[in-house]
Structure 1
């Protein structure tokens, strides 16, 4: 058996394949490169793709259109970027973006050759012109003289530029001197890491020895299009035809074709990555040779042999590994050789049920055939074994051979004496499924219901379970029991000895790859290797201890598959030993396609999360987007972590600072979306963890700003707040003003009532009292001179006093109301005409123009009082023959005109009024109170025209404000009548 240190054979390496079915843009691979971040870049006939171990990503949405053409070559720079040559363009991928390098001359010129320069740039040949990059620009470099069409070029580590034109190989030294070597037909140049230069014509390989190119005898293939020297010095050659692939290491040459698993015999490009895996580009897909954690060995050379499925494994004291099959006999692996034993050696074609140590070769239990041990050159059946389905043979240090027979119980063969041992009750119904010896040499037996420990005389129950026990392991001081319904764990096996409590049951629901646990084995670090029918997994000591102690309720084991070196991760669900820990500490497994051993290996590499791109709604953006337009968007973050080791088991956790309060476990998902985020600044962070649960804690981040609409900005909110405050202040001010106006209105109502009382007293009480006074004076004179006349005057005075009393009573009644609230202005003016008429004259006419409308009662009362005074003057004092009242309604005002043809008023009286009289002054006061304009046009003997103009307004307090000013203006005036 080869080991990794001695360079395993190609057929023992893990060969994985990717095609268009897994996302490769096209199966014809033309170029390969790996950047320092771990991504593999693949050039095909249909463009460029980046591979993270799980997904291929194209650049249709965020790359130049030329990247969808045939990719000629990919070359690493000295930083974290890469040079890309397509058929019509040159590009530099740096800092996550593609920079187009302008090639002078024809825009459709083809690139003939490309090679890496020592400074991290590239040399290119286009249109038979040699150029090199300086930064991201090209500068022309003269070709050596007599150099024809350039076929290939290469700059070695000494800075020498090698050029071949099919006729010569030219070496351009650092001092620009030229050395020419005559090698016709050379098409390919290559230099390895040690500085050795190779040249090839497609059929022969030459190596430069310092003076000339010498033929390399038997390098591998007879024709080739690419070659590579790996880190061990092995020479790889790609045929580019019908010969596949070859590798020469030392004096050994291996070849692989489609018969050995290659996707195609036409191999075009080779690459060794940072993990020392070798990638192969063929015309039928991308492949990789991987140094797996496991090395697998087949039992039979027949790939389709179903009877040779492995179902048991065993290590003998001399270090030989034995494997049993379903019906194909057994195999011994020792000293790099495999030896098969079958019918020819006396073993019947039955299912191998286990092995036990018996001398130079183990005793072998074969289903219902019995137990066989080697005697001479043949295996023979041990005669004392009872007939039945024999299972789980085990040899103990005292020379005893223990085994069980289905439905017959447990037996011990010692010194040729067979004994039946009771385990469980009743004996005949108890199925002994498992026998093992722990680190202290104690014998244990597992049945359908319990795990029991041998005391030297009998078995004592240690663990009771509701499910059949299939295996057990003793990691350190703990205990792990495999059952058909999960793994039962105790962190301290001493509690089992003292029967202290039940263990913690770990099933698929808590993270196991399956609940049917066939076998469990502990390694030197007390990790648990767990076997289920469909998987092999490893659970770290830290995790299973935490679960057993109740510190966690979920585990994340490492799960292994074909990419780790397993020929199959399926294990036959049969009741025998399928996993062992050998004396050198390695763990061996029996799988359906042979046996597999865990090689000493380094921990899985630490993985680094990478933010791939950001998508806003349906718009695909790069990972460096910083600003997003306003609105409700669906923002998608895509992230990954390049890895060659179990990339599908890499786990992620993320958070969006500014939105998420804590980290969110995304499992193996590589995309997350957010919808309805409010405007603001956010930072997306994602951290990757390898399958061993180890992370470097370094997050990939992307800071972005979701812009607000203008009404979502701070200044707008501040302005809105100020506006709301202003509105609140204004509403409060107006409400306060309205309240003040109402109070003022009430005050003015009272003032108006006082004026009305004064008016009533002026026209009634005072006038009557003056008349009474005159009558009394006249009566005094008459009593002395005309007694008869005095009697008549006294009677007249009495009547006058009674009339005054009646008028005063009427005045008191009128003090309790205004002009009558339910009447309109027209109605109350008609009532005034009836009030003043004492005879048929004067004639009275009332007309209206415009659309009559309701008038505020207080305004109406003031107008009524003004008009009443004017009518009173016309009826009682002006001796008019005709009186006319016109009311003219306009949209925002109305006008009242009172015209009579009476005696009129002189100018002095109009300006000053008459002493002791209130009429004209009162009319002016009433007009000012309601903000009206009062005009009196009169001349002696020509009648009087009184015009009152009143504006109406929707703001109820404005006229009263003017009225209040009128009140203040008139509060100090002496009121007089006409």
Structure 2
């Protein structure tokens, strides 16, 4: 055994030396692009010890000062708060895992173990208790792990613990006490489960042990030689284990095999302390060390190290790598002491053209490739550059004023190889050059006004060879067709007098379709079609009145795809598809449909029948079958975003080239990765009046919220949990029963609503990932807006009953009013019948008697009877006048009543020579009496005044009216002879009886104070509200 250990140590030393050399050789690698997040962006602290993604899609980062949840844009930080129950027990987070119930387990350095409930947003702590045999053995939880059976394991300095959910406590597993001391130490630093289901632990004493489920003990594998502390374990698909150690590098333990192979050291492992291990989806081993991140590829047995590079923005932020993780989309994350970084395991498919290496990355305007695979590039200031990728050979062709065979100008705008292998070069302002195969000197073609068949202009913009072998040259002065037999050109120019001529002389692009028609894109004249048979042009221009016309008159590129469909790239009008050449019908695709920019410089088709477009804001891949755009910019690995006109080319090998303001980009379309995973969509916050609302359950899992009528301004926050370029995620939301259609929110991650009517609404939100793939289901939240108390159902029922009651009361009052009116009518009719009838009857009888007396010459008797008839008639007229006055509603006011009372008293008493006073208190002004009360009150007053005048034998009288305590008080007083109230009425009349009856009808009180020889005081007290 001693010899075996010594051999392992010697092998380990050799491996360490080799690994150091490999690491030293790989330290300068910068092929990966790291996107880093730090405390400046909201991370709780920059030392990230553990990473996990929960089932909802959130990423969780355990740091040295708190726990951070990340949604792709914002962090939510959890820390210990002694004043708040349910907070973390410690801020030092060492390990994270999620169980099968979706609960997050947090291992802390000094605070034991915490379990996070995502529904309530609260933590439950499990800490060491000396008297609790079923608790943790130590509060320093280095590792927490959930196995495939859903069991949660925790490793502490006191052993391995398994949580028992039904009993809510832990079962502890340790090495057997019978083992030697060096084998029964229980400092658990790493836990994992192999592909065969075995649970493995790595200890601080450098041993690997497995849990024996039969005995319940940890058993050290005797085939594993002790090393330094085990820091990480990672299983592979074959059942083996990758083992990281503190000072002895990386090891691999196969599942089975000869005894000698169990502890086989990977000879080229890193020599620095290993802090983390992770096996990605390609089965590459990622190793976190104190000196960078290392990728080990087992098949090739190669190591690549990535380190922090000062001044390089997208290098690793720090060389101490504490954790490595791969999320569900395949994006890798590494936690360092300088923050958390995400990166793609494979470098970007977009590569800068190496032929310009070492030179300023100036604008590129033209690209072409010869039969040997050499790429030729036309630049703005470097002339013509060629580069052969196979040989690495690079050449430059520049303008030399002393050499007439040199390039005409260093600003090259167009390139084209013809079928003879000649390279045609168009310059910015010095005409057309031709380079024969194998030659180094150029033949020049320039405009000469004195020569008929020279090129029409020296400002060359495009060169194109058609399927028929004809060469076409577009210039600032028209279109030219090269005539080889004459070594000259036939020119086509705009003729204002000929509508069938070229529409514009600024020719930008030329293409001949499979039918032989030549399409010419101009700078301001739209798209022209040349018919070689007729020699005439037809033009397609923008028509503001026709949305199906060409979208812009400035045409930059033309492509005929594999199916013969013509596509037109425009400046400012996006991409156009020609649907009907006879009628000039186009379909346009612009920014709202997914284009990154409406300036389309170049259009190319790849082998998968996708169209690639260069713009001022990156590249776009368009799929005509479903009109789907994918966009790419510097965030996706492009070296720059702004491209140039003319600088696009598809090589026979399928490689695409696009030139721009900072050089040339090339790529194989099939190597460009796109994200086809729809993102989970979650709600992340709810605010009222811009203030966050603390809910009893997390908004992420909540499905219903009830708002009061005072909550008329609220906002819902949401996120798409796609972490690949999350700033490119786009959103759409809709509040059902309010929004008529989906609201396209772009990258905005919240929706705000105000003044919603009471009712039940459903808020729905959906989102895309960075490549525009929608999650159509998204997520939803029911929002109930309660009405004000006066809008509730019970209040409406109450109001309905109240209205019914009021209507019924009004009906009853109306009926009572009609009955009262009927009684008044009846009383008037009765009075008319009784008074008027008896009076008229007496008048009739008296008139007959008077006629008899007159006939018998008894004149005195007849005159007396006529006087009596006159008195009766006057009384009848007075009674009629009282009735008419009483039923007139204009006399409801007490002012009218007082005036009539004063007039009546004056007429009666002054006729008898009785002095009287009539005083009405000002308090009665504005009072009103209804018809019945007014009648009864006035008739009672008349009765009192008539009695005073007839029987009192007084010389003075006083009448007063007052309003006291909501009662109308009438007082009539005289200084007459008085009477005995108990004695029978004079003349057998019913005066007092009538007055008492009238007082009762008004619910009043009539009081008469009198005695013989003492005068009389009559007081009427009637209730009357003001």
**Post-superposition CA distance 1:252-306 (Å, at most 9, x none):** 2222223473233333221122233322223333333326796123334987732
Name 2:939's counterpart in structure 1: 862
Q: Is the 8 A contact 1:471 1:519 kept in 2?
A: yes
Alignment of 1:739-758 (within 5 A): 739-752=818-831
Q: Looking at CA atoms only, which structure, 1 or 2, has the larger radius of gyration? A: 1
Change in 2 beyond 3 A, CA 1:712/1:328: same
Distance 2:923 2:511 in 1: 116
Matched, 1:150 2:225: no
Question: 1:225 Cα deviation (Å)?
Answer: 1.8
SS at match of 2:440: strand
**Distance in structure 2 (CA, Å) of the matches to 1:358 and 1:251:** 47
User: Retained in 1: the 8 A contact 2:232–2:274?
Assistant: no
TM-score by length of 2: 0.74
CA distance in 2, matches of 1:256, 1:795: 153
**Is structure 2 residue 227 aligned with structure 1 residue 188?**
no
* Equivalent residue for 2:793, pick from 705, 711, 714: 714
Q: 1:537 aligns with which of 614, 617, 620?
A: 620
74-83 vs 9-18, greater mean Cα deviation: 9-18
Alignment of 1:62-211 (within 5 A): 65-66=87-88, 69-78=91-100, 80-87=102-109, 88=111, 90-93=113-116, 95=118, 97-105=120-128, 110-118=139-147, 119-126=149-156, 128=158, 130-135=160-165, 137-144=168-175, 145=177, 146=181, 147-148=184-185, 150=187, 152-157=189-194, 158-175=197-214, 176-180=216-220, 181-194=224-237, 195-197=239-241, 198-209=243-254, 211=259
Match of 1:283 in 2: 337
> For residue 784 of structure 1, what is the aligned residue in structure 2?
none
**How many angstroms apart in 2 are the aligned matches of 1:362 and 1:290?**
43
**Aligned partners of 1:89 and 1:938: how far apart in 2?**
106
Write out per-residue CA displacement over residues 298-355 of structure 1, whole angstroms, 9 at most, x where no aligned residue. Answer: 33498773246554333445666555555275354656x6442336999979345454
- 2:598 is the counterpart of 1:569: no
Q: Does 1:599 align with 2:638?
A: no
Match of 2:762 among 683, 698, 714: 683
Mapping for residues 353-392 of structure 1, pairs under 5 Å:
353-357=413-417, 363=423, 365=425, 367=427, 371=433, 373=435, 379-383=439-443, 385-386=445-446, 392=462
Please give the alpha-carbon distance, in whole angstroms, between the structure 2 residues aligned to 1:656 and 1:468: 42
Residues 748 and 853 of structure 1: is their aligned pair in 2 closer, same or farther, counting only changes over 3 Å? Answer: farther
Q: Residues 399, 699 of structure 1: CA spacing in aligned structure 2 closer, same or farther, 3 A cutoff?
A: closer
**Does the aligned pair in 2 maintain the 1:411–1:421 contact within 8 Å?**
yes
C-alpha change, 1:480 and 1:272, in structure 2 (3 Å) is same
| Number of equivalent positions | 893
Q: Distance in 1 between matches of 2:173 and 2:575?
A: 76
Would the alpha carbon gap of residues 174 and 634 (structure 1) be closer, same or farther in structure 2, given more than 3 Å must change? same
Alignment counterpart, residue 49 of structure 2, candidates 24, 30, 50: 30
From the superposition, tell whether residues 487 and 155 of structure 1 become closer, same or farther in structure 2 (CA, over 3 Å).
Answer: closer
**8 Å CA contact retained: 1:424, 1:447:** no
RMSD: 4.9
Matched residue SS, 1:605:
coil
Query: What is the deviation of 1:704?
Result: 2.7
Unpaired segments ≥5 residues, structure 1: 1-8, 545-555, 781-790, 838-842, 956-978
- SS class of match (2:283): coil
- Paired position in structure 2 for 1:42: 61
Distance 1:413 1:903 in 2: 151
- 1:268 equivalenced with 2:312 (yes/no): no
Q: Which residue of 2 aligns with 1:951?
A: 1022
Which deviates further from its counterpart, 322-331 or 700-709?
Answer: 322-331
SS in structure 2 at match of 1:744: helix
1:631 matched to 2:710? The reply is yes
Q: CA-to-partner distance for each residue in 1:640-684, whole Å, 9 max, x for gaps?
A: 212245544433322212322333332332211001123322211
Distance, in Å, in 1 between the alignment partners of 2:981 and 2:536 is 141
**Residues of 2 paired with 1:579 and 1:169: CA distance?**
58
State yes or no: 1:811 paired with 2:898.
no
Whole-angstrom CA distance in 2 between matches of 1:202 and 1:826? 126
| 3-state DSSP of counterpart to 2:229 | coil
Q: Deviations over 1:462-488 (max 9, x none)?
A: 545584543211132421223434346
The answer as to 2:330 corresponding to 1:330 is: no
For residues 439 and 54 of structure 1, the distance between their equivalents in structure 2, rounded to whole angstroms, comes to 50
Matched, 1:894 2:949: no
Assess, with a 3 A threshold, how the Cα gap between structure 1 residues 308 and 906 changes in structure 2: closer, same or farther.
closer
Against the structure 1 CA distance between its residues 638 and 868, is the aligned structure 2 distance closer, same or farther, given a 3 Å change threshold? same
Distance 1:264 1:936, change over 3 A: closer
Report the Cα offset of residue 863 of structure 1. 1.4
For 1:52 and 1:362, how far apart are their aligned partners in 2? 57
Evaluate the alpha carbon distance shift between residue 930 and residue 125 of structure 1 in structure 2; reply closer, same or farther with a 3 A threshold. Answer: same
Structure 1: distance between partners of 2:954 and 2:281:
136
Secondary structure of the corresponding residue to residue 209 of structure 2: strand
- Say if 1:76 and 1:82, in contact at 8 Å, map to a contact too: yes
Which runs of 5 or more residues in structure 2 are unaligned? Answer: 1-27, 131-135, 400-404, 448-457, 496-500, 542-551, 886-896
For 1:476-625, list aligned pairs within 5 A: 476-487=563-574, 489-492=576-579, 495-496=580-581, 498=582, 500-501=583-584, 503=586, 512-524=595-607, 526-541=609-624, 557-571=629-643, 573-574=644-645, 576-580=646-650, 582-583=651-652, 587-591=656-660, 592-597=662-667, 598-600=669-671, 604-617=676-689, 618-621=691-694, 622-623=698-699, 624=702
Separation in 2 of the partners of 1:803 and 1:409? 135
The aligned counterpart of 1:296 is: 350
C-alpha spacing 1:682/1:802, structure 2 compared with 1 (3 Å): closer
Q: 2:275 aligns with which of 221, 225, 230?
A: 225
- Determine the C-alpha separation between the residues in 1 that align with 2:55 and 2:655: 33
Give the distance between the partners of 2:491 and 2:355, measured in 1 at CA. Answer: 44
Shift of residue 700, structure 1, vs aligned partner: 0.5
In structure 2, what is the Cα distance between the partners aligned to 1:224 and 1:360? 61
CA distance in 2, matches of 1:514, 1:728: 69
Aligned equivalents of 1:464, 1:801: Cα separation in 2 = 123
Distance in 1, Cα, partners of 2:152 & 2:355: 49
Aligned to 1:871: 948
2:737 aligned with 1:658: yes
